[in-house]
């Protein structure tokens, strides 16, 4: 259970330290031992060693009441840790007896009690971070985490919040409030009402004492202190009419301190008397100074016996709105403060109203830590321990009280009421991280937390859990003072190391508080590494900036920095880090999303930058974005070369990795020259999993450069494999740095595809039986096979333990071997699931993904999360760890049904992988179970080719081919018999010439091919003609016959009846006559002629009657017997086209028609309203 388990862990680490019944520094009832590698590991079932597989007999189990035996790290790639076991037993007092028995009866490397560790307390609340823009920066500013390491408060200490109203049902307040009061309406309900929203009081209450370390929302300075909610505002407008009544009620009902985030400019004796009443009864009053930004005194803050609180912002500057003056007692963060709203969520706001509860909550924490201290003692330590902030406020020096509160120092100040002898190790400065030298000189900070001046202490230290060494420290440290202490230098070997430093025997006596005596550090010795400097110059908004350096091989973060203070004009910060030869990613982020482009804002005139450089000044990386505007993130790559001559290593294994869907594997690796000499040869020893092989690289690798090499192919069979490769003998010399010579890669080899149906019921109790490939990026909780009820067949299912999995955004998966969807259609995935939400905020989900490229990439098929409407859950929400009953599966009646996913879009594809992936939201969650996975399809069989089409067509027509093949077809190949082809399933085609063609259709699917042939005849069109003996007639002429060939066709057009043309019923002018003919193949042709019909019936006798045209026939030149001025001559061809049109006079004796062809022409002679037509025969022969 995420919420409860984490709370339990922190409780064991802090609150119940003094509850250990046997040894304060070791966990009761737990023993650790490492099994010798000379004997086999104990077999396990579901993560535990069954009794029958353990060396403990029933009598021994009964004597010590042994509850369980389990391997702590069964899957880790470390010989020692993978053989380490934990025994949990109930007879705590017999721990030494059990240890002795194990030493005598089991072949072990060691056996010991399990340690109980302590560290600075950082709550797991969602918004607890140092970010100014989206976190709780104020708690970091006042050293709240360090203070919580001293005390997390006492629920019996009560801080009253007198305010407009308080939403006591807010999820971060509901468990923290004690009985309260509405002093306005005289009832016991301080909740919002009417026009009184209660936002202000809810926000203030959250700052004082919101539930902390509860896996949601925010943390509060008061941590475990209780809140007494007192409503002093009326319901109609929220006006604060009951302030002093609220103070009195709080004093009379057991409050230890009262917060008053309200006030005004009015002053009264009554008000002072109320404050005196509280003080005289031992209650500490804390009040907001006011938000006018002036030095005017506000009340009750300015009354005697009240702590008046001003507000500060990031960097300890005075908030622009805050009051100031000599009457201020202390300051606290009050700008951009995140806390509870009046509903169930959270909101930022600001004001001295937010600074005051920060102080009131700290007062409650101080009272918890030193219950014997008087109120004056509490106030004295509160003020004397504050940090001086005059340097950040030169215009307000001495006007912000004692300074900005420091929670850690305030609690240390009170140690005089708790411990007189209390020395501690606050931190180890060095060695830390990666160290570029084999010689280390540790430095740490020794601090006196006790009230008595520290003059001596014994310092013990231990490298790698080896022999303990000691030094005696002597000096003089008053309470709260500290000193940097150095230990003797020591030379260590290359690799990872640990160092523990412990402080004991303060002033020759026992230290009265052991919680701060021990500090540890882990570091790595890289004797040939390079020391580099990361230099960050911020713009004005340093709190938005963070960065890290990670190695490119494994993406492990080596070092990080930020956020930084918000400083006008920016500032420069340097971090030194030792890096081994290799390549790295520098990632810098900005919370706001504007990079370090500060000058774009009116309030800032500078831009930030960064650079990474070596000791010799060589710049390895620097900011890339113009104006430093890199948005949310910039990633810069750089490499470190060695200071050695010969240093060649493997920088990455490109392949094999993950899954390989072929029996043949060919590795690709990158060789990097980290040394200073050009490399021409290097030996390579590699192993795909079937034994070592050797080869050599010969070429040219310049210093700081790399090459990609391909190794010989390996033929393997389905199963998990590990590929390893080692370099040696660069240029025939010994490699001077072997740390980067070797690299391994785990992969799963699949030498064939799996046919459908693919089923999994997990009854084999192993993912390997069906060759599932699992992914577990964080090597933490992942999918496991467990025993459950409610599924059939059997009693096994796979489970993801969201209940105990607290790491957010982690994805764990199990994926099928490559499946052959090729010969199947109607493919679908079904599975059964059981899921219950922990609470309404739980957002854990299940994703189903598919890959068609052997797992190189995946696409979503579906993503399922519960939204309260039955979208994933199959049981009702509960904070009890979910173990399903038969009714709790998707086959039951509650929530989501079982899912069916259509996969038919991937039919015909071979090598398909389906992945089930859990997505952990990181807040309280509950378990998810999956069983009875079934991927099925219908085998489509071999194809049967068939098609239909017309078997006879005419040239010029298109023929439609229709595929009638059976079986699931995935390719079509049409051969039209004339050298042309198509892959269209149903093509339309037009042949270019007549003939007889053989058409061939070949269809294919994964099960084979089939072909069908058909003959198509393409017929030529008939040769059709139409002739007429006369092409120009008068409408007064008799009918005559026209002739169409071949005979048997149809005549159409004006004046046509069968094959007869009658000019009297035709149209005056040009008449188009058509002859259509269709042959026995159904092919058609046509021919047309034009017959001109003149309106001879309406020609009147006129002066043109006596005019004759001659010669006729002629060769294109003719004249008239009489020509009158103004006459017009028009000449028309037989098809009605005018080829001559001209006015003539008696001067024109001859008319010539140039280039006229032989034929019959119609000549019209027009004069006024008279017209005469002539038939002219032109013969050019």
Cα-to-chain-centroid distance, residue 954: 64
**pLDDT reported for residue 59:** 66
**pLDDT reported for residue 2:** 23
% of the chain with per-residue pLDDT over 90:
56
Q: Is 1068 exposed, middle or buried (0-12, 13-18, 19+ CB in 10 A)?
A: middle
375 within 8 A of 321, measured Cβ to Cβ: no
Mean pLDDT of 1164-1178: 83
547 within 8 A of 536, measured Cβ to Cβ: yes
Examine residue 210 and say whether the peptide bond preceding it is cis (omega within 30 degrees of 0): no
The model's pTM is 0.46
Whether the predicted pLDDT of 1032 surpasses 60:
yes
Mean pLDDT of 519-543: 88
**pLDDT reported for residue 344:** 87
**pLDDT reported for residue 484:** 94
% of the chain with per-residue pLDDT over 70:
94
Measured torsion, CA atoms of residues 365, 366, 372, 373, in degrees rounded to the nearest 10: -150
DSSP 719-773: EEEEEEEEEE-GGGS--S-GGGSEEEEEEEE--SPBPSPEEE--TTS-SGGGT-E
**pLDDT reported for residue 527:** 73
Mean pLDDT of 323-350: 92
Q: For the chain, what is the radius of gyration of the CA atoms?
A: 49
Angstrom distance (rounded) from CA 354 to CA 221: 12
Mean pLDDT of 668-688: 93
Output the average pLDDT for the chain.
88
**pLDDT reported for residue 1:** 20
Tens-place pLDDT, residues 827-871: 999 999 999 998 877 788 999 999 999 999 999 999 998 888 889
Would the CA dihedral through 597, 600, 604, 606 be positive or negative? Answer: positive
Strand pairing report for 557-561 and 981-982: unpaired
**pLDDT reported for residue 923:** 63
C-beta neighbour count of 587 within 10 angstroms: 16
Whether the predicted pLDDT of 460 surpasses 60:
yes
Residue 116 sits at the vertex; the CA angle it makes with 442 and 810, to the nearest 5 degrees, is 90
**pLDDT reported for residue 134:** 61
**pLDDT reported for residue 1097:** 67
Strand pairing report for 1151-1152 and 482-486: unpaired
Whether the predicted pLDDT of 912 surpasses 80:
yes
C-beta neighbour count of 569 within 10 angstroms: 11
Angstrom distance (rounded) from CA 836 to CA 881: 9
Residue with structure tokens 């321990």? 385
Buried b (16+ CB within 10 A) or exposed e, 334-351: bbbbbbbbbbeebeebbb
Mean pLDDT of 637-662: 88
Tens-place pLDDT, residues 230-288: 999 989 878 787 888 899 999 999 999 999 999 888 777 778 888 999 999 999 999 99
Q: How many helices (H) and strands (E) does the chain have?
A: 11, 76
Q: Is 996 exposed, middle or buried (0-12, 13-18, 19+ CB in 10 A)?
A: exposed
**pLDDT reported for residue 131:** 56
For the ranges 130-144, 183-197, 489-503, the lowest mean pLDDT is seen at 130-144
Whether the predicted pLDDT of 117 surpasses 50:
no
Tens-place pLDDT, residues 86-103: 888 888 888 888 888 888
Question: What's the N-to-C CA distance of the chain in angstroms?
Answer: 117
Residues with a known catalytic role: 163, 200, 353
**pLDDT reported for residue 126:** 47
455 within 8 A of 493, measured Cβ to Cβ: no
CB contact set of 217 (below 8 Å; sequence gap of 6+): 125, 126, 127, 171, 172, 210, 211, 340, 346
* 42: confidence class by pLDDT, cuts 50, 70, 90: confident
For the ranges 91-105, 464-478, 706-720, 890-904, the lowest mean pLDDT is seen at 91-105
**pLDDT reported for residue 751:** 92
């Amino acid at each position: 259970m995420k919420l409860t388990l984490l709370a339990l862990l922190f409780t064991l680490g802090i609150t119940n330290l003094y509850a250990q019944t046997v040894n304060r520094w070791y966990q009761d009832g737990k023993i650790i031992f490492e099994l010798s590698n000379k004997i086999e590991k104990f077999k396990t079932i579901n993560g535990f060693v069954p009794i029958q597989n353990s060396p403990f007999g029933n009598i021994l189990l009964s004597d010590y009441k042994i509850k369980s035996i389990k391997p702590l790290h069964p899957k880790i790639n470390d010989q020692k840790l993978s053989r380490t076991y934990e025994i949990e037993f109930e007879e705590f007092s017999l721990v030494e007896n059990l240890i002795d028995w194990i030493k005598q009866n089991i072949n072990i490397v060691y056996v010991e009690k399990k340690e109980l560790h302590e560290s600075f307390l950082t709550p797991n609340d969602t918004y607890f971070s140092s970010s100014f823009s989206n976190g709780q920066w104020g708690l970091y500013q006042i050293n709240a985490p360090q203070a919580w390491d001293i005390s997390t408060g006492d629920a019996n200490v009560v801080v009253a919040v007198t305010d407009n109203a308080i939403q006591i049902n807010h999820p971060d307040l509901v468990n923290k409030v004690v009985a309260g009061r509405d002093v306005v309406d005289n009832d016991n309900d301080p909740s919002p009402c009417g026009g009184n929203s209660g936002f202000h009081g809810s926000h203030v209450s959250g700052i004082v004492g919101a539930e902390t370390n509860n896996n949601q929302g925010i943390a509060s300075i008061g941590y475990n202190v209780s809140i007494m909610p007192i409503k002093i505002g009326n319901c109609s407008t929220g006006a604060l009419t009951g302030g002093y009544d609220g103070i009195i009620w709080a004093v009379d009902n057991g409050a230890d301190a009262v917060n008053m985030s309200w006030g005004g400019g009015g002053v009264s004796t009554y008000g002072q008397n109320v404050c005196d009443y509280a003080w005289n009864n031992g209650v500490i009053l804390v009040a907001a100074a006011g938000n006018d930004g002036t030095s005017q005194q506000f009340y009750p803050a300015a009354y005697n016996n009240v702590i008046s609180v001003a507000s500060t912002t990031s960097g300890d500057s005075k908030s622009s709105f805050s009051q100031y003056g000599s009457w201020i007692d202390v300051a606290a963060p009050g700008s951009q403060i995140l806390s509870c709203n009046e509903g169930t969520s959270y909101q930022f706001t600001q004001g001295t109203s937010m600074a005051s509860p920060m102080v009131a909550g700290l007062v409650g924490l101080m009272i918890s830590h030193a219950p014997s201290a008087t109120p004056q003692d509490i106030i004295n330590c509160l003020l004397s321990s504050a940090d001086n902030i005059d340097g950040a406020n030169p215009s307000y020096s001495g006007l912000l009280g004692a300074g900005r509160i420091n929670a850690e120092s305030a609690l240390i100040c009170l140690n005089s009421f708790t411990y007189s002898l209390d020395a501690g190790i606050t931190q180890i400065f060095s060695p830390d991280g990666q160290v570029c030298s084999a010689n280390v000189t540790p430095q740490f900070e020794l601090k006196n937390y006790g009230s008595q001046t520290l003059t001596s202490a014994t310092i013990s230290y231990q490298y790698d859990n080896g022999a303990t060494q000691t030094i005696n420290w002597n000096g003089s440290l008053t309470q709260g003072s500290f000193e940097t202490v150095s230990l003797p230098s020591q030379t260590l070997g290359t690799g990872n190391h640990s160092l523990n430093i412990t402080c004991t025997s303060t002033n020759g006596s026992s230290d009265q508080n052991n919680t701060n005596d021990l500090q540890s550090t882990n570091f790595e010795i890289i004797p040939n590494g390079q020391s580099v400097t990361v230099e960050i110059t911020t713009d004005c908004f340093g709190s938005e900036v963070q960065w890290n350096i990670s190695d490119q091989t494994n993406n492990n973060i080596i070092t990080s920095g930020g956020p930084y203070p918000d400083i006008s004009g920016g500032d420069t910060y340097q971090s030194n880090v030792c890096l081994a030869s290799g390549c790295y990613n520098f990632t810098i982020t900005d919370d706001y999303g504007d990079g370090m482009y500060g000058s774009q804002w009116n309030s800032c005139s500078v831009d930030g930058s960064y650079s990474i450089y070596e000791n010799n000044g060589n710049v390895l990386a620097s900011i890339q974005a113009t104006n430093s505007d890199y948005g949310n993130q910039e990633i810069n790559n750089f490499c470190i070369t060695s200071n050695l001559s010969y240093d060649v290593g493997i920088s990455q294994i490109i392949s094999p990795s993950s899954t390989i869907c072929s029996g043949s594997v060919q590795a690709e690796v990158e060789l990097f020259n980290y040394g200073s000499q050009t490399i021409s040869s290097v030996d390579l020893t590699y192993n795909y999993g079937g034994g070592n092989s050797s080869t050599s690289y010969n070429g040219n690798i310049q210093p700081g450069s790399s090459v990609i090499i391909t190794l010989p192919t390996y033929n393997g069979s389905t199963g998990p494999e590990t590929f390893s490769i080692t370099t040696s003998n660069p240029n025939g010399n010994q490699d001077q740095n072997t740390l980067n010579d070797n690299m391994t890669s785990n992969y799963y080899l699949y030498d064939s595809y799996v046919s459908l149906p693919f089923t999994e019921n997990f009854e084999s109790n192993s993912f390997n039986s069906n060759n599932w490939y699992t992914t577990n990026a964080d090597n933490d909780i992942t999918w496991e096979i467990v025993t459950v009820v409610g599924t059939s067949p059997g009693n096994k299912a796979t489970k993801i333990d969201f209940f105990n999995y607290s790491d957010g955004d982690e994805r764990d998966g199990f994926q099928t071997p490559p499946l052959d969807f090729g010969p199947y259609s109607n493919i679908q995935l079904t599975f059964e699931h059981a899921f219950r939400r922990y609470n309404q905020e739980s957002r854990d989900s299940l994703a189903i993904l598919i890959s068609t490229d052997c797992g190189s990439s995946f696409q979503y098929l579906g993503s399922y999360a519960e939204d309260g409407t039955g979208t994933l859950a199959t049981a009702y929400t509960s904070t009890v760890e979910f173990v399903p009953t038969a009714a709790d599966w998707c086959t039951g009646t509650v929530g989501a049904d079982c899912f069916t996913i259509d996969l038919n879009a991937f039919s015909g594809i071979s090598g398909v992988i389906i992945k089930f992936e859990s997505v952990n939201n990181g807040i309280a969650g509950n378990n998810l179970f999956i069983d009875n996975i079934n991927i099925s399809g219908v085998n489509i069989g071999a194809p049967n080719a068939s098609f239909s089409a017309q078997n006879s067509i005419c040239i010029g027509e298109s023929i439609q081919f229709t595929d009638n093949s059976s079986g699931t077809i995935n390719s079509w190949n049409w051969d039209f018999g004339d050298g042309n082809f198509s892959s269209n399933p149903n093509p339309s085609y037009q042949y270019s010439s007549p003939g007889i063609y053989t058409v061939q259709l070949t269809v294919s699917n994964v099960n084979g091919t089939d072909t069908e042939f058909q003959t198509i005849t393409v017929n030529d069109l008939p040769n059709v003609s139409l002739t007429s003996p006369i092409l120009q007639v008068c409408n007064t002429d008799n009918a005559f016959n026209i002739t169409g060939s071949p005979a048997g066709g149809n005549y159409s057009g004006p004046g046509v009846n069968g094959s007869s043309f009658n000019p009297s019923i035709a149209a005056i002018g040009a008449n188009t006559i058509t002859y259509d003919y269709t042959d026995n193949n159904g092919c058609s042709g046509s021919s047309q002629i034009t017959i001109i019909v003149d309106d001879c019936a309406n020609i009147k006798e006129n002066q043109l009657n006596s005019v004759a045209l001659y010669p006729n026939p002629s060769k294109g030149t003719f004249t008239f017997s009489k020509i009158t001025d103004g006459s017009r001559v028009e000449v028309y061809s037989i098809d009605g086209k005018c080829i001559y049109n001209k006015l003539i006079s008696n001067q024109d004796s001859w008319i010539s028609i140039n280039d006229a062809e032989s034929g019959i022409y119609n000549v019209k002679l027009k004069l006024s309203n008279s017209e005469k037509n002539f038939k002219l025969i032109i013969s050019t022969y």
